[in-house]
Amino acid sequence: PLVEEIAITAHPGQELVPWPEGFRYPGFIFARGETPAAVEAALRAAHGRLHFVLEPARA
């Protein structure tokens, strides 16, 4: 498989603010392959399988 690691750096309960106001990503996907196109396809496929459960921010 081309995807070598998926690192989720966000923590349960952590507030995630969308860009441009936000400054953090929920995590990262790392892949390696023979061609940039193959790596991009693997990253897009892995990203498509991620599922996050988000709740509104508490007041």
Every domain of the chain and the residues it spans: 3-49
pLDDT in tens, 1-55: 799 999 999 988 888 888 888 888 899 999 999 999 999 999 999 999 998 888 8
The model carries a pTM of: 0.76
Angle at 51 between CA 35 and CA 19, to 5 degrees: 80
| Separation of CA 23 from chain center | 14
